[in-house]
Chains A and B, each alone.
Chain A
């Protein structure tokens, strides 16, 4: 099955494409809403600003296309800010609505540790996305995170617990960068590609 990588300009698409290919994906990189709406396996990348990333989705009708695909039974993996976009909202600059595919809100770290978090962090994991991950330490770059969410499948701690990954039925999200997390990250991508 083809994996469709959403070609967002607010994302590190090239790095993620490379990692997905190494993980075994047959890749379609696109920003065409119709192709996205008809996709069976989607990846939504994102870095930087939640607002900018969400604005691009809505202005180009990609948000509607993603919802249509998911309603149609497609699976979806959000990465970093792509993961954050899955939630109801983010508190970045007031409140900005997200895709609403996962319950919860993304908030700025209220941590005694320096923000942004930049670096590796140990993650407590569960579920099919993390099957056969030998050493669940992943690479994070984030100032915002969802915390204590009902669909959490992985949790890490940065001066307080936060949601490192979520799954609700066919929708997955990972706050870390699998494309920068060496073998553990590639394993997660491989698991997503193989998941049905």
Chain B
């Protein structure tokens, strides 16, 4: 998949408009400086939008396109192209392709004239969609034709690439419209646009078969996505499988299960469960010790010892870890990684101390997050008590301190089977580079996909769903593979 940087130009500067409003401009400087700072190499495709042209219909940024084309960039230029003359202007200034919007949706005869004159391979049809309806004229009104009609017409003219923007998502950093792109059936290469705000968004788009490229604007300018990293990730999109992690909640040596951290009942022997999960294809096992008292801590160690003796996948253990000695005891008992929760909130230095002593790969921050108005709060004591700490900020800080991964549980969704909290996941995955394990809310196979695809999770955890055999790990992996998401 091509990753295409996108620059909006106004008065010779690279800018962003908030929600298309010319009164709310953020300027980023001249195009050459911006391209250098983004690390855009020669030969790269570059998407250019002439905002003045899209407002007034007059192409004004011709000189910039000429300069950038002479730097060896393959430019696709757009913005208010309403006529064959406009389209020719861009090609004459050195653009490789023109991006045709409103005309493609509303004026079939003009589109045909442009294609006949310039050739179909010089034309990208740009279609803006809101709630399944094509919007035109700077998103001001609905197009005369439906999405299917516009698609058919463009395809029939021999145009090979179509740029689809879900305008309800554009610039808002809420993520691209994966569902829209999945639903489109076409032989044309889709260029996805709008809402791409994390590396994970780019990777997820690359896994959708019909998506051949994506354009990225603000996320590159803001440094949320580094172009080189995005290109490296999509160059080998299937090398690193996404992980499915079964979880055993253990109390007093037995597997138990509960809803919303309460109403707990007995559900089996940990060793038997662990063996079954590895055989089903679990990529890792998490054991959370929810014993209420210290007296039972030694029971938990014994469980870890017995499980690790029968297990040949990585084992993460959490629950009640207060000191570096607790951490060491669990590693000695056979854990590969240890999750710290309440104690780390009370003493953040514990994360740094454990990372130094045992390596970052051994340290997992377990964060139980609960929505509190417009933000999330980190909960302590098994999700029962608020810590007053902002959960998202806490995750960012834990990465700084040396956590190797974050196990992020939505207390609101836990046990509800209503799906992972995608908003919570995005809030965290968009600001940390370490992996995030999604937890809390799994109910069906689509939930696992969404946590990875839209949430940006690098692993997905479930407990009761697997335990009750409502789904097997194999079911989940088979579905993910069918959706283009690599699994082991």
Does A associate with B in a complex?
yes
Q: Which of B236, B239, B361 contacts A118 (CB 8 A)?
A: B361
Q: How long is the Cα–Cα vector from A182 to B241 in the complex, in angstroms?
A: 15
Q: Give 1 or 0 for each of B401-417: 1 = CB within 8 Å of chain A CB.
A: 00011000000000000
**B101 at the A interface (CB under 8 A):** no
Chain B positions within 8 Å of A141 at CB level: 361
Interface membership of A2, Cβ < 8 A? no
- B144 sits at the interface (CB 8 A): no
B208 in the interface (beta carbon within 8 A): no
**A136-158 with Cβ < 8 A to chain B:** 137, 139, 141, 156-158
Contact of B243 among A15, A120, A186 (CB under 8 A): A120
**Shortest distance in angstroms between A145's beta carbon and chain B's nearest beta carbon?**
14
Q: How far is the CA of A111 from the CA of B312 in the complex (A)?
A: 28
B239 & A180 in contact (Cβ 8 Å cutoff): no
B312 and A118 contact, CB distance less than 8 A: no
Q: Is the CB of B434 within 8 A of A114?
A: yes
Contact between chains at B239 and A157 (CB < 8 Å): yes
Q: Is B232 an interface residue when CB atoms closer than 8 A count as contact?
A: yes
Question: Number of contact residues on B: which range applies?
Answer: 20 to 34
Q: Given contacts A137-B488, A139-B313, A182-B313, are A156 and B233 in contact (CB under 8 A)? A: no
Interface check A119, CB cutoff 8 A: yes
A159 CA / B212 CA spacing, docked (Å): 21
CB distance from B330 to the nearest CB of A (A): 14
Residues of B contacting A118 in the complex (Cβ-Cβ under 8 angstroms): 361, 404-405, 435
Are the C-beta atoms of A135 and B360 separated by less than 8 Å? Answer: no
Q: How far is the CA of A141 from the CA of B314 in the complex (A)?
A: 11
CA distance A181 to B334 in the complex (A): 15
CB <8 Å contact, A182 and B236: no
Query: Looking at the complex, which one of B283, B312, B314, B359 makes contact with A19 (CB distance below 8 Å)?
Result: B312
A185 cross-chain contacts in B, Cβ below 8 A: 312
* B396 within 8 Å of A (CB atoms): no
Chain B residues in 8 Å Cβ range of A122: 238-241, 486
Is B353 in contact with chain A by the CB < 8 A criterion? Answer: no
| A119-B243, A141-B361 known; A113+B232 contact, CB < 8 A | yes
Any A CB within 8 A of the CB of B71:
no
Q: Which residues of B contact A182 (CB under 8 A)?
A: 278, 312-313
Is there contact, CB below 8 Å, between A119 and B240?
yes
Q: Is B309 positioned at the interface, with any CB of A under 8 Å from its CB? A: yes
Tell me, in angstroms, the Cα distance from A112 to B313 when the chains sit together: 27
Shortest CB-to-CB span from A105 to chain B, Å, is 22
Contact A159 B232 (CB under 8 A): yes
A135 to B481 alpha-carbon distance, docked (Å): 14
* Residue A121 is within 8 A (CB to CB) of chain B in the complex: yes
Q: In which size bucket is the chain A interface?
A: 20 to 34
CA distance A179 to B336 in the complex (A): 11
- In the complex, what residues of A have CB within 8 A of residue B314's CB? 139, 180
Given contacts A114-B433, A114-B434, A180-B313, contact A156 B239 (CB under 8 A): yes
Per-position binary interface string of chain A over residues 158-192, scored 1 when its CB falls under 8 Å from any chain B CB and 0 otherwise: 11100000000000000000011111011000000
Q: Any chain A CB within 8 A of the CB of B374?
A: no
User: Beta-carbon contacts of A82-112 to B below 8 Å, as 1s and 0s?
Assistant: 0000000000000000000000000000011
A186 touches B312 (CB 8 A): yes
Chain A residues, Cβ within 8 Å of B239: 121-122, 156-158
Contact B312 A120 (CB under 8 A): no
Q: Within the complex, which residue of A15, A137, A157, A183 is in contact with B236, where a contact is CB–CB below 8 Å?
A: A157
Name which residue of chain B comes closest to A23, CB basis: B312
* A15-B334, A137-B488, A186-B312 known; A113+B229 contact, CB < 8 A: yes
A180 nearest in chain B by CB position: B314
The verdict on A116 contacting chain B, using a C-beta distance below 8 Å, is yes
Taken together as a complex, chains A and B put the C-alpha atoms of A183 and B435 apart, in Å, by: 25
Bound CA span A64–B1, Å: 51
Q: Which B residues touch A48, using CB under 8 A?
A: 359
Least CB distance, A155 to chain B, in whole angstroms: 11
- 5 extra interface residue pairs, beta carbon distance < 8 Å, beyond A116-B361, A180-B314: A116-B404, A122-B239, A139-B313, A159-B232, A182-B312
**Selected A-B contacts with CB under 8 Å, 14 pairs:** A112-B232, A114-B435, A116-B361, A116-B404, A119-B243, A119-B458, A120-B240, A120-B283, A121-B239, A121-B240, A180-B313, A180-B336, A182-B312, A182-B313
Interface residues of B (CB under 8 A from A): 226, 228-229, 232-233, 236, 238-241, 243, 278, 283, 308-309, 312-314, 334, 336, 359-361, 404-405, 433-435, 458, 486, 488
The 3 closest A-B pairs by CB, nearest first: A112-B229, A137-B488, A112-B232
